[in-house]
Amino acid sequence: MAEHIILGRKGEELAKQYLEAGGYEILDENWRFGKAEVDLIAYLNKTIIFVEVKTRTGNAFGEPEDFVDSVKQNLLISAADEFIELMDFNGEARFDIIAILFDQQGNHRLNHIQDAFWPDPN
């Protein structure tokens, strides 16, 4: 298996553990709709949270969260719309990013960015 895939899975597992420790209920993992994949779908305080996890081993080209560009955001938004419709959910929703940065010793820093972006109302 490719090293970046192993790193990504490790990051997603760390993010899941972090959210669960914070009281979030994990509703789904790696949920797909079309070309979009939502890494984690969580629930807390009557809110569905769509979480994109970005894991990197260095930040020479930017922080992990910098790689959630507008194209990725639009894919996540379309997947979230479908999930909400399928679940017939009428509550609040938000989009979070969990950025995980590993150093050369294998230690990591986790940055949870709540309400990282919002759908364009147009």
Domains annotated for the chain, with CATH where assigned, are 3-117 (3.40.1350.10)
Q: Residue 122's pLDDT is what?
A: 61
Cα–Cα–Cα angle for 44, 37, 101, rounded to 5 degrees: 75
Task: Please enumerate in sequence order all residues whose Cβ is within 8 A of that of 15, keeping only pairs 6 or more positions apart, or say none.
Answer: 39, 40, 51, 53, 98, 100, 110
Q: What would the pLDDT profile of 20-37 be if each residue is shown by its tens digit?
A: 999 999 999 999 999 999
Helix (H, G, I), strand (E, B) or coil at 104: coil
**Helix and strand numbers, DSSP H then E, in the chain:** 2, 5
pTM: 0.93
